[in-house]
Structure 1
């Protein structure tokens, strides 16, 4: 309904943020783009207005591998590499949008380029797009729930009657027959068409179609006979789906972490990270792009492929420099899948579906041209490595980054867009000016004039540590730990530090320390056994680790 009800989607910035938010929430860029394609096919949305939404969907789909990186927060070095490997995808998408969205608004190059390509080829509707991964997953998901996607499309395209329909699919097989019959109407105004209306004596006749529909076979899923509203079923499925998602992400990390060790890791590391001999060393990166594209076409999901790469980067099997072209290839591969699906469309939906899919394809191709061929322009690698270093030191910052980039920032910008262009430009320009001034001060090494909270994350770290310590004193972490332990056992929730402290009956475990005999009676050390807590408190990094792991 958000897509249809407001003209705000014609604002390119608002459209971009809608694409980000919807894709993050439904964890599927294909869902958001399919709604956009339906609206374009129904002439409710132009291709030019739909392009920013598709760009936003490209950003939103990268949230999954960032979540995977959080599961490796237990080890500082692993987390440093994994978070950098995950966010290189984020930075590529955000940087591409920052450059290409203004270019598209000013020049409409994607719209014009794809329009010329479609008009120059006589494209006919093809067969159904190949399905590989869905062949495995669909039988299971059909047993849980089946939705009538036609109702979603009808709501998005403004069908008022569809708003009262249920999204839950009840009948999987129906018989539909349309017959034409002559009927009388009070006047010619009631005729379907003037050409199909005639008068015989005092009677006015017209041809009217009668639809006969008979339900043959019910669907087989858990909620087919449930007397629950759509909202109630959604509230039941939402926590279940989140639990399944988290469990799958944990399993991906655990399996890859345990399987790829020792000699296996060494062989894979040597194979993937090896460059071609001089002068063909530059070809290795482009081969990695091709591999990423092919693997994504096979999996039919860029999220699955990049979520598999992230743990491998964390454990050191794949370098960040090699993970970057693999991610770029994955971005390209997911658009080719959309092109194949668009070719299966028929009628008036073929041209618009294919044009949107091609816009997505050329957007990623242009991004690769911008940020890969010239080594100096590979900014996503440098930015991701810097963010990985920061997150390894202050691990709470990873959660802060995730919430800001994928939730708060899109919501704030979307809210400003609703207020109008004047408000959006006024606030946006002011914030960009502040950021530009801060960057200049750092560039000329005069940032010491800034307040301490703008120079370092240390003040923020102290603030969050204080909050966590207070949380632990009030037993909040303890009860959260009990809940996680009971529901998600036997997963190792090492980041719940407060829970571990509480379960030891508030007693600190004594760890024996071997002390040389010459120091035993000197008064410096009076006992061979010292508490682990006393030794850890003197380590600066452990203080940060305590708060971050508790979060």
Structure 2
């Protein structure tokens, strides 16, 4: 093994014999700093390798084989849990379609409401939340445009709403990590950064689209400039693996939702549960009656018989060949009942898989291994190519989303990794933006498979979705200070970690109550929407500006506005509401037997959280130099100090009490460190390497 590289202290400028410019961060200084960082990172990696080799040398052959076998078994279990996790997301989507699919189709029927861009936006959100699939809601919009029921210009806000609604899945996944406060803080922030990006993009781009129609004009220009021909459908990459399991549980006929949206009255009585999986269409020539000979086509044979005029017409008949084999094919249950059953089972499977995945990852990523993996995933390229790292992460996110064909699956998969700290929020943000791009490329390929007469409209809607996400990235990513979604997600993560019930309130407000309220105002008329919505919007902007000024420049505000203390406490603090929720949980614990166990478990979890907080801060760096003999010595010294405290007055007053104070201070520092949720941007790789080397 090559010797470890030595680190030398920086030479002062006087010893170099050259003039040194003290301008802030010159190119030479940046290059030398990058070289030092790279040198320190390489040294740390070699130290970690040496540490692993030394630890491996302590094991005999049997121990090494068992360790390798254990690692292989854990990796196989991880792949199996990921497979069940993805399948449960698919079943969850099917369950939502069974529960609310027909209602989603009914929402699209009111064309007068759809012509209102704000109403179209919230309809896109609601439909995507109901069917848990932006692909399904987008395909409904494409069908309506192709059939002439909806114009492309009116469909653009619905596509924006579908982009918002698809982020509800990973937010639900983040809520399932509420057992550990620190993991929940990071996971919820990693999930809601997607929400904030979508909402902020809509706040800027929807008024711009209504005023100028730039997305419609841009996509129209692209369609007219290229001779686009019908192509192949989007490839089924992940579904080839998941369908053997999901097809045996449930299969749906999503064309029923599209038929309801396009106004087919016969589709309302059809079931979404597919009964016949293999059918064949046969063309038959049948005899029909017509009012007169004028109704006969020139090529058709017409004759008169028994006072009626007959002709022949080709009719398509569907012959059922093979029945489906899923669990509910013979169940005489309504769609709602089957949907509720699948909803409960899929949420249970999703929660179980998520808990097991997090525990398995925590057992696999310990100590120095976790440090190395975090550095590999979260380290930027050296200067001057550090800016490339984020765009490379976008390409990775787009590629992975194209492979799994679902942005919900990809963002839900990285949410647990953000929760346990493997992926930082700053790295999860470009991955999520790339996922938004990846899901639009799948829609583009699906649009290319449309028939020739509907190809242009289908492709234009898909391009609107694509350019909407590109415009959002240009707004909220290239310049660091414009990455507002990261700061908002961090603030929301801190808030939900302190008041975990707020996560459920956030889901209900953002994805249900707010869209329903806006939809109700839109149905009442645009005058009502403007009369109620504009004052509320102005009030929200005023509150945001005052909050910012209270933190940055309070001296510019009147004295009573420098804090919100002049308002009743429930209007500016969650503490009174938290007491109400806690009282409700106490009532639940004392009155309800089934909930009693739940509440007691909650108390136990909170106690465990406090213990884990202390333990996790100590697990960051393993200390290989501390042996069992050293621990025994420490224990003996502690026992001696305890005896001293109980027997000797002077030692009790002087030495032991000082020791207790030091221990209390150490505990407070440990808690403070464990509550540091996000990476410190001032801590470079060189600093981390020095800290890790010191512990080693």
**SS state of the match for residue 173, structure 1?**
strand
Which residue of structure 1 aligns with residue 611 of structure 2? none
Q: Which moved more, 1:174-183 or 1:71-80?
A: 174-183
Report the CA distance shift for 1:456/1:279 in structure 2 as closer, same or farther (over 3 A): same
Alpha carbons 1:155, 1:162 under 8 Å: kept:
yes
**Unaligned runs of at least 5 residues, structure 2:** 1-105, 555-561, 608-638, 653-663, 672-696
Distance in 1 of aligned mates of 2:277 and 2:447: 24
Distance in 1 of aligned mates of 2:647 and 2:109: 79
**Unaligned runs of at least 5 residues, structure 1:** 485-492, 502-512, 525-534, 543-551
**SS state of the match for residue 496, structure 1?**
helix
Alpha carbons 2:588, 2:596 under 8 Å: kept:
no
What is the number of equivalent residue pairs in this alignment?
A: 503
Which residue of structure 2 aligns with residue 364 of structure 1? 469
Which residue of structure 1 aligns with residue 199 of structure 2? 94
Map 1:76-225; keep pairs closer than 5 Å. Answer: 76-180=181-285, 185-188=290-293, 191=295, 193=297, 204=309, 206-225=311-330
Report the CA distance shift for 1:376/1:108 in structure 2 as closer, same or farther (over 3 A): same
Distance in 1 of aligned mates of 2:171 and 2:290: 63
Alpha carbons 1:416, 1:423 under 8 Å: kept:
yes
Q: Deviations over 1:269-296 (max 9, x none)?
A: 1111111111221111111111111111
Alpha carbons 1:68, 1:253 under 8 Å: kept:
no
Distance in 2 of aligned mates of 1:28 and 1:494: 37
**SS state of the match for residue 217, structure 1?**
strand
Structure 1 residue 149 displacement after superposition: 2.7
Report the CA distance shift for 1:87/1:205 in structure 2 as closer, same or farther (over 3 A): same
Distance in 1 of aligned mates of 2:369 and 2:221: 49
Alpha carbons 1:188, 1:194 under 8 Å: kept:
no
TM-score w.r.t. length of structure 1? 0.83
Distance in 2 of aligned mates of 1:344 and 1:494: 55
2:563 to 429, 437, 447: 447
Q: Deviations over 1:68-98 (max 9, x none)?
A: 2223333333222222222111110110111
Structure 1 residue 314 displacement after superposition: 2.1
Which residue of structure 2 aligns with residue 336 of structure 1? 441
**SS state of the match for residue 124, structure 1?**
coil
1:480 to 568, 573, 595: 595
Asked whether 1:352 is paired with 2:453, we answer no
Report the CA distance shift for 1:197/1:10 in structure 2 as closer, same or farther (over 3 A): farther
Which residue of structure 2 aligns with residue 399 of structure 1? 504
Asked whether 1:430 is paired with 2:535, we answer yes
Which residue of structure 1 aligns with residue 45 of structure 2? none
Q: CA RMSD in A?
A: 3.1
Which residue of structure 2 aligns with residue 468 of structure 1? 585
Distance in 2 of aligned mates of 1:233 and 1:73: 28
Distance in 2 of aligned mates of 1:51 and 1:462: 44
Which residue of structure 1 aligns with residue 404 of structure 2? 299
Q: Deviations over 1:74-130 (max 9, x none)?
A: 333322222222211111011011111111111111112112211222222112211
Which residue of structure 1 aligns with residue 14 of structure 2? none
Structure 1 residue 320 displacement after superposition: 1.4
Alpha carbons 1:252, 1:308 under 8 Å: kept:
no
Report the CA distance shift for 1:433/1:521 in structure 2 as closer, same or farther (over 3 A): farther
**SS state of the match for residue 447, structure 1?**
coil
Report the CA distance shift for 1:78/1:235 in structure 2 as closer, same or farther (over 3 A): closer
Structure 1 residue 381 displacement after superposition: 0.9
Which residue of structure 2 aligns with residue 318 of structure 1? 423
Report the CA distance shift for 1:468/1:358 in structure 2 as closer, same or farther (over 3 A): same
Q: Which moved more, 1:270-279 or 1:237-246?
A: 237-246
Alpha carbons 2:290, 2:296 under 8 Å: kept:
no
Structure 1 residue 198 displacement after superposition: 6.5
Distance in 2 of aligned mates of 1:395 and 1:453: 17
Distance in 2 of aligned mates of 1:411 and 1:118: 35
Report the CA distance shift for 1:102/1:262 in structure 2 as closer, same or farther (over 3 A): same
Distance in 2 of aligned mates of 1:125 and 1:311: 40
Q: Deviations over 1:44-84 (max 9, x none)?
A: 11112222121111111112222222233333332222222
Which residue of structure 2 aligns with residue 496 of structure 1? 602
Distance in 2 of aligned mates of 1:200 and 1:134: 56
Distance in 2 of aligned mates of 1:402 and 1:515: 52
Structure 1 residue 362 displacement after superposition: 0.7
Larger Rg: 2
Report the CA distance shift for 1:452/1:184 in structure 2 as closer, same or farther (over 3 A): closer
1:75 to 167, 175, 180: 180
Structure 1 residue 148 displacement after superposition: 2.4
Alpha carbons 1:292, 1:333 under 8 Å: kept:
yes
Which residue of structure 1 aligns with residue 137 of structure 2? 32
**SS state of the match for residue 276, structure 1?**
coil
Alpha carbons 1:74, 1:494 under 8 Å: kept:
no
